[in-house]
Structure 1
Amino acid sequence: MVKYIGSKRALLPWITGAIGVIHRQEPVRTVADLFSGTARVGHALKKQGFYVVSNDLMHYAHVLAQALVEADAREYGPERLEPVLRRLNALPPRAGWFTRAYCEQSRYFQPHNGARIEAIREGLEAEAQGDPLLRAVLLTSLMLAADRVDSTTGIQMAYLKQWAKRSYNDLRLEYPPLLPGLGRALRGDALEVAKGLEADLFYLDPPYNQHSYLGNYHVWETLTLWDRPQTYGVAHKRVDVQERKSAFNLRREAGEALQRLLGSIRARHLVVSFNDEGFFGAEAIEAMLRGWGYVHRLTRPHTRYVGARIGIYNPRGQKVGKVSHTENHEFLFVATHSRKVHEAVARSAGAAAG
């Protein structure tokens, strides 16, 4: 999966374990993930046999969910994909607008890889032959390949002053980690999508502060849309970063938005991820969830992303800020209408703590 601030890679066993406890008490068949991001959680849940509906507002996140949640590896297996990937890998480099913007005027990738990204991105549309899931699988392979040779600390608000060692490697497409089975990928505002969804369990991992995922991962959005956007600033962000705002990134609106979302969800169980760097404290979230009946809060420490640990630097490479802390606390709230489930979650948390 691509590097991602707020990624649940290290927390996956914790999240899937909590959902597993619920499932053992009351069988869960369908899980809705309304803020899917890189689809890491949805992918893990699909692997465990759940039918997953993933949703996100970002185009790149929708593409990742199409490949990692919706696409069936039995239909898009290596025997079908490998010849396509070989043809795309063999395309001659093609330096153009992407290479100028993201490799020369900024430094997210070395120019030799930028030219390969451009050639592959242009070529994969013809290879997809109008199949949206095949297109998503190829785009996902390209994003994963680009992520392996980037020169950032994991977010695209900035890039490293000196080229990262991995950026010298040659970009190469590989078969992405597709899974057999069915799922569904949606792209929309969670507040609207939730109104039309029913599932046994909803998993929520909403934005928790003012930093938008579009601003943090604007290069992936551009790579997906391939729309030659107007950009601004040293980071060459898309100008629509300034316009496409989520209520969840606005302190004055985030509380009302979360309450509206919780009020529109139809399910027996709800699992919510949040941390102590967000707009709300744990007690405030628990208060919002009390309408669900039983609420249990799980907490564990988590290392912050590498950019937060090395400090803040200006474009000249001068350190301009101090590292405030290197660790935060992640919260997992399990809300349920079932007392049996609530007690099982509490027992499981107690056993883990002991």
Structure 2
Amino acid sequence: MEFGFGPEDEAFRAEAREWLEAHLEGEFADAARQSTAVRRAWERELGADGWIGLGWDRAPGTYGNRAASLTQQVVWAEEYARARAPGRVGHIGENLLAPTLLAYGDAVQRDRFVPSIARGEELWCQGYSEPGAGSDLAAVRTAAVRDGDTYRISGQKIWTSLAQDADWCFVLARTEAGSQRHHGLSFLLVPMDQPGRIEVRPIRQMTGTAEFNEVFFDGAVARAEHVVGGPGNGWRVAMGLLERERGVSTLVQQIGFAEELDEVIGLALRTGAAQDPVLRDRLVRQWAELRTMRWNALRTLGTADDPGAPSVAKLLWGGWHQRLGELAMQVRGAAAALGPADWSADRPYELDAMQRLFLFSRADTIYGGSDEIQRTIIAERVLGLPKESR
């Protein structure tokens, strides 16, 4: 396979690089220290110049987004990562919901929600997983009962990224009483500003941070016209959305992985740990596997008809990143178990970058679909093996 960038792609790269250099200044310059308010302002900055929703299927340029080929989308993603631009708080709306609305939504839904995502004005979160229904998404129990021209939603979602800041949540809920598994589910668009009906509780992790949340719905209201794909078709829509977690975003993720690997290698060289032949072999293997992941991601770009591609990608990067965290601790040696030297009761306990990498990466093979689920998808949908008994 050969993958290259042509003259038009390189011109697009120069434009992207110039725009990023001109705008990553002032309050946007220090990506690591930005508040949510600054990141929301950055989303509006991106949207104003059409950098949100590059090449959305069926909508190149329709909503103020730039028309961009697949290779140009890769160019933008790579330049964004290399510029260390602010972490995106609008990526769930841009990369998951908007393409789903373009594929399954009606004209009213698209006209209402896609432009606000493209402008960076409304943030979204994903209401899928529940206690007891994580990787096994078909076991969701959150219920939505029709009440005139609205639905009343009751239940709990968990591991909901950005729920504390989101304006809207797309929720997979059971709208047919007595239905089981993937039958009787609907995909609803729910406003988060419903005091007393929606409660968001941060989940404190072993890294000390709280990127995820629990969300409790107690009679929360969603309009009937905001059911995407029609009542009872939620499973089809939800699976279509999950298939969009692939391709360009995977390539961007790998740029961050490469930077982390460089840090581990640099530390191994400075401390002399790289002199250990076993450790050195593991470092080389991590580098080679990262290259393989890039080639696989490039190979599968645009192959929407390959049901196994997202699962293969998730298996590759989840295990790779987890092994990198373990390797970072081995390179650090006994010092990896120590906190900051000036820690005291008056100063919060803090982890360094490699300690956070190790602890957070323990979840890499679980969130976003566990390894077991990904292997089941490959076995049943790609290899045609007998389905797992339930």
TM-score, scaled to structure 2: 0.26
TM-score calculated relative to the size of structure 1: 0.28
Structure of greater Rg = 2
Higher RCO (CA-CA < 8 Å; seq separation 6+): 1
